[in-house]
């Protein structure tokens, strides 16, 4: 397959995450005094977490039952003694390709909730929730952090980010999902909220031009970054993604595949035509970060190198799921 979709993932080698309060730009908030407590955690069952900061208390609950995940967030203003915000997000894993439909759900919920608070209070909610997730990432082990109970918390951050971006820009902002998420390589993020440090990217690209320019679109991305305004320090995943792909086609394909999955539970079409895929590649192609049915949603150089080395499945690191190339 074409390695067109690989170019974005080269940047993953040197990722810096930054979070925003407008459609394409943001400053990271100040990390202040805070307290987080796991009230309960039962693996593959449920968790309850309480987080306090700046006079606000956040109660997070996540429950996994019958292959469905229900998450609930409640935020209380301890000074005014009232509830500031509450929202519920559900994920039905019984639907094949359920991940492809969640970004659309996040956009819809964001639009519904937007008028519930003014811009300042939504910013308070968003900053509190970001601090909550930062604390979790600092104190929990890798296995717990990767659990569905904890990973489900990221959907709420995407909702709050989308709302604050929309209010900041006085428009209905999008949530364009990371393709990495679709193949379990990343937590859920909107591309609009996932940032790279420009100087860091350019330093790496400049030292590895031969590798970068060997990838379709590599020189295009290098030239784009090199010609950016010197006063701009960060670039969003979406801004780079748009250099190489149609965001509209990407989201339209994901939505169509999800709707098809809902209608054909248990009898999904096994053979997918390349022409039906946004990237023009299949999940079974080399470099697609896994061997899965349907379209290739995410490819990377690391996955391509692994797949080439494991064409015969004769190395231990190929893993038990490896199937020899015929």
Task: Please compute, for residue 65, the number of CA atoms within 13 A of its CA located in the half-sphere on the CB side.
Answer: 7
pLDDT at 268 over 60: no
Q: What pLDDT does 321 receive?
A: 77
Segment (H or E) for 53: strand 46-53
Task: Please compute, for residue 37, the number of CA atoms within 13 A of its CA located in the half-sphere on the CB side.
Answer: 8
pLDDT band at 9 (very low <50, low <70, confident <90, very high): very low
Q: What pLDDT does 79 receive?
A: 92
pLDDT at 249 over 80: yes
Question: What's the average model confidence in pLDDT over 229-258?
Answer: 94
User: Which residue's structure tokens are 């193949």?
Assistant: 183
**Could you tell me if 116 and 147 are in contact, meaning their C-beta atoms sit under 8 angstroms apart?**
no
- Least Cα distance to 18 among 199, 196, 161 occurs for 196
Query: pLDDT tens-digit profile of 187-218?
Result: 999 999 999 999 999 999 999 998 899 888 99
Taking the C-alpha atoms of residue 264 and residue 65, their distance in angstroms, rounded to an integer, is 22
Question: Considering Cα of 258, then 260, then 262, then 268, what sign does the dihedral take?
Answer: negative
Name the least confident of 22-26, 42-46, 280-284: 22-26
Q: What pLDDT does 114 receive?
A: 94
Nearest 5°: the CA angle 267, 182, 160 is 120
Question: What's the average model confidence in pLDDT over 276-289?
Answer: 89
pLDDT band at 270 (very low <50, low <70, confident <90, very high): low
User: Which residue's structure tokens are 């950016």?
Assistant: 228
Q: What pLDDT does 151 receive?
A: 96
Name the least confident of 243-252, 259-268, 311-320: 259-268
**Could you tell me if 150 and 66 are in contact, meaning their C-beta atoms sit under 8 angstroms apart?**
no
pLDDT band at 304 (very low <50, low <70, confident <90, very high): confident
pLDDT at 1 over 60: no
Question: What's the average model confidence in pLDDT over 101-122?
Answer: 95
Q: What pLDDT does 315 receive?
A: 86
Q: What pLDDT does 241 receive?
A: 96
Q: Work out the percent of the chain whose per-residue pLDDT is above 70.
A: 88
Task: Please compute, for residue 12, the number of CA atoms within 13 A of its CA located in the half-sphere on the CB side.
Answer: 17
Question: What's the average model confidence in pLDDT over 24-44?
Answer: 70
Name the least confident of 32-41, 52-61, 81-90: 32-41
pLDDT band at 5 (very low <50, low <70, confident <90, very high): very low
Question: What's the average model confidence in pLDDT over 52-73?
Answer: 97
Question: What's the average model confidence in pLDDT over 142-168?
Answer: 96
Q: Whole-number mean pLDDT of the chain?
A: 87
Look at 318 and 108; give whichever has higher pLDDT: 108
């Amino acid at each position: 397959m074409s390695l067109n979709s690989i170019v974005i993932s080269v940047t993953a080698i040197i990722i810096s995450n930054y979070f925003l309060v407008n459609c394409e730009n943001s400053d990271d908030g100040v990390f202040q005094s805070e307290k987080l407590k796991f009230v309960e955690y039962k693996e593959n069952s449920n968790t309850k977490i309480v987080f306090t900061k700046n006079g606000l208390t956040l109660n997070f609950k996540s429950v996994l039952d019958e292959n469905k995940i229900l998450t609930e967030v409640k935020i209380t203003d301890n000074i005014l003694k009232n509830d500031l915000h509450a929202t519920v997000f559900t994920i039905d894993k019984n639907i094949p390709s359920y991940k492809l439909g969640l970004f659309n759900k996040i956009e819809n919920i964001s639009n519904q909730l937007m008028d519930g608070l003014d811009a300042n209070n939504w910013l308070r909610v968003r900053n509190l929730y970001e601090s909550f997730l930062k604390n979790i990432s600092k104190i929990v082990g890798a296995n717990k952090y990767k659990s569905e109970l904890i990973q489900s918390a990221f959907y709420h951050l995407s909702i709050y980010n989308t709302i604050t971006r929309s209010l900041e820009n006085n428009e209905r902002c999008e949530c364009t999902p990371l393709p990495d998420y679709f193949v379990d390589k990343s937590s859920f993020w909107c591309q609009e909220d996932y940032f790279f440090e420009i100087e860091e990217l350019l330093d790496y690209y400049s030292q590895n031009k031969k590798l970068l320019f060997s990838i379709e679109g590599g020189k295009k991305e290098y030239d784009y970054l090199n010609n950016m305004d010197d006063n701009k320090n960060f670039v969003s995943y979406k801004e780079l993604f748009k250099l190489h792909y149609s965001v509209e086609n990407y989201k339209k394909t994901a939505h169509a595949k999800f709707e098809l999955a809902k209608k054909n539970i248990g009898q999904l079409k096994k053979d997918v035509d390349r022409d039906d895929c946004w990237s023009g590649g299949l999940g079974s192609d080399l470099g697609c970060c896994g061997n899965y049915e349907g379209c290739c949603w995410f490819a990377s150089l690391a996955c391509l190198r692994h797949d080439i080395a494991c064409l015969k499945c004769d190395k231990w690191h190929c893993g038990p799921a490896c199937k020899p190339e015929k």
